[in-house]
A and B are shown apart, each in its own frame.
Chain A
Amino acid sequence: MKPLPLYASLVVGLAILAAAPLYGDNYVVRTAAIVAMYGALATSWNFIGGFTGYPSFSTAAFFGLGAYVGALCQRSGVPMVVAWAIASVAVAAFAALLGGILLRLRGHYFAIGSIAVVELCRLIVSSWSSLTGGGDGLNLPLVQGTPEDLMRFFLMVMLVILAASLLVTILVDRSRLGFGLRCIHQNEDAAAMVGVNTTAYKVAAYTLSAVFCAAAGATYASWTGYIDPTDSFQIVLTVKVVVMALLGGAGTILGPAIGAAAFVLLEEVFWANFIDWNRAILGLVIVVLIFFLPGGLLSLRRRLMPGGAA
């Protein structure tokens, strides 16, 4: 996409979400916040899954760890916003260390390894009762204010995280890092041969994919006021985020966020009426996507408008 339309659609999209309190009730504001949150998660996944082509399923691990680190900080008296920052930095460091090990695997093996990370985190958090409260979960200090104020506040926070993740995406896309990551996606051996430091680049992408997830997780914990292991480390969350990114267009700048918005809206207006079939419909969406829309929603623009900007 050319820079101008890109920035324009970005600003318009964020503005529509930010203006939710003006045109909708609390339910609409909540939906907007959820869209922003999933948008940030999908945009994060895009660094490792979209640009680099490594099918990571670690999103839920980063989200859950962010939630727990943030919650534990807040419970020991750290101010809320500082707790979010600590959670982001700590989980980013964790991802960098883990990435050095996990990214030696490729393809399916990496995918399986990254799922194992989610399960391991969940098991450790639920077993370590003395610190995490185990299966009983953790309560967080409640934020004071009316439900409307709170909703608005958390919408803004999620929007800031989404905007930050998009901004970093744009920067990466234009940098040597982004170019190197795309080379790795195309052909990792050849990338190494032209002098891309593949290990460092992959670890950088994996770390970037963690930091905003952690921020979103920590924010989510403060928002709901209570977290437990099963809710924080959901495999379904991980899968959903990947589907959102693919739905919008993996490896593009805005695609994952657009996919997240489309997915959440579909879920709210449509699947919510088919509770029993929810997961089955998710499966169907995945299959349809892979067969008919491998380039995501953004590729429709190119198909429907021949000669349109790629």
Chain B
Amino acid sequence: MAEPLLSLSGVTSGYGQIQVLWGMDLAVNAGEVVALVGSNGAGKSTLLRTISGQLAPSAGSIRFDGTEIGGSRPDIILKAGIAHVPEGRRLFRGLTVRDNLLLGAYLRTDKQAIADDLEWVFELFPILRERQRQDATTLSGGEQQMCAVGRGIMSRPRLLMIDELSLGLSPRMVEHLGNALVALNKAGQTILLVEQDVMTAFELSNRAYIVENGRVARTGASAELARDPTVSDAYLSI
């Protein structure tokens, strides 16, 4: 099989003296949806921040499309094709929904394609079209999440990483966003998803990694993990 789109081996990272990741191995193939699940503090968000260049790995290698990207600047990594939709959404206050979305295309110069992609985001999330002139931070939580995901799409990434898709959202909104992700993936988008809600994560993804204490504890096809009693005991407490 060809080299995965993204592959991590032995990646360690953290904040100053505090090490969070203790040798992560992970691979994402083109066209897949891969989920990262695990409890609070397991290192899921730290992993995404390390991949997107906000944190530099202290050891190990991060390869994307055949090139080593570990420790590069965030703008270089974005240019290489990895977009990060951060936890807590981080929209720009004072800017309209439309401007926030267009900011996702900050590094691009292909005007016509940007307009097409904006149209595509509006198709995925029709509510954003209605609210495009509104200050982005006046949207509801779910709509803000849509805007954040849309901003990620606007850089036309080859890998879209989403941190905590469902955090703080109503079940209906989660379903709506989930459907959008499925549609995105059908259109060929590779996605790496961090999700606390294990069931949602397994439902949306092809494969999943269970992260514990900065290492991969289990990995496998999502459908199988969902059926595995040891997994449900540990993570679903039912």
A and B: bona fide binding partners: yes
A203 CB to nearest chain B CB (Å) = 13
Binary contact track B84-126/A, C-beta < 8 Å → 1, others 0 = 1010001111110000000110110000000000000000000
Q: Is A307 an interface residue (CB 8 A)?
A: no
CB–CB A192/B91 < 8 A: no
Contact of B92 among A190, A192, A197 (CB under 8 A): A190
Q: Beyond A193-B84, A194-B151, is A187–B74 a contact (Cβ under 8 Å)?
A: no
Q: Is B78 an interface residue (CB 8 A)?
A: yes
Q: Classify chain B's interface size.
A: 20 to 34
B86 CB to nearest chain A CB (Å) = 6
Q: Is B145 an interface residue (CB 8 A)?
A: no
Q: Is A183 an interface residue (CB 8 A)?
A: yes
Within 8 A of B (CB), among A162-206: 176, 180, 183, 186-187, 189-190, 192-199
Is chain A's binding surface mostly helix, strand, loop or mixed? helix
Q: Residues of A contacting B50 with CB < 8 Å?
A: none
Q: Is B155 an interface residue (CB 8 A)?
A: yes
Q: Report the nearest A residue to B152, measured CB to CB.
A: A193
CB–CB A190/B73 < 8 A: no
Q: Classify chain A's interface size.
A: 10 to 19
CB–CB A190/B86 < 8 A: yes
Within 8 A of B (CB), among A76-103: none
- CA–CA, A130 and B106, complex, Å: 51
Q: Beyond A189-B54, A194-B104, is A199–B92 a contact (Cβ under 8 Å)?
A: no
- CA–CA, A196 and B151, complex, Å: 14
Contact of B78 among A180, A186, A187, A195 (CB under 8 A): A195
Within 8 A of A (CB), among B39-75: 52-54, 73-75
Q: Residues of B contacting A195 with CB < 8 Å?
A: 74-75, 78-79, 106-107, 155
Q: Residues of B contacting A176 with CB < 8 Å?
A: 106
- CA–CA, A262 and B78, complex, Å: 45
Q: Residues of A contacting B79 with CB < 8 Å?
A: 195
Q: Residues of B contacting A194 with CB < 8 Å?
A: 78, 103-104, 106-107, 151, 155
- CA–CA, A189 and B86, complex, Å: 9
Contact of A187 among B53, B73, B92 (CB under 8 A): B92
- CA–CA, A271 and B78, complex, Å: 54
- CA–CA, A180 and B107, complex, Å: 11
CB–CB B95/A193 < 8 A: no
Q: Considering residues A180, A190, A193, A196, which has the most beta carbons from chain B within 10 angstroms of its beta carbon?
A: A193
5 further interface pairs, Cβ-Cβ under 8 Å (given A192-B54, A192-B75, A194-B104): A183-B103, A190-B90, A194-B155, A195-B79, A196-B106
Contacts from A to B (Cβ < 8 Å)? 176, 180, 183, 186-187, 189-190, 192-199
| Interchain residue pairs A-B with the least CB separation, the first 3 | A190-B90, A195-B107, A195-B78
A sample of 19 cross-chain residue pairs with beta-carbon separation below 8 angstroms, ordered by A number, consists of: A176-B106, A183-B103, A186-B92, A186-B94, A186-B95, A187-B91, A187-B93, A189-B86, A189-B90, A192-B53, A192-B74, A192-B75, A193-B83, A194-B107, A195-B74, A195-B75, A195-B78, A195-B106, A197-B73
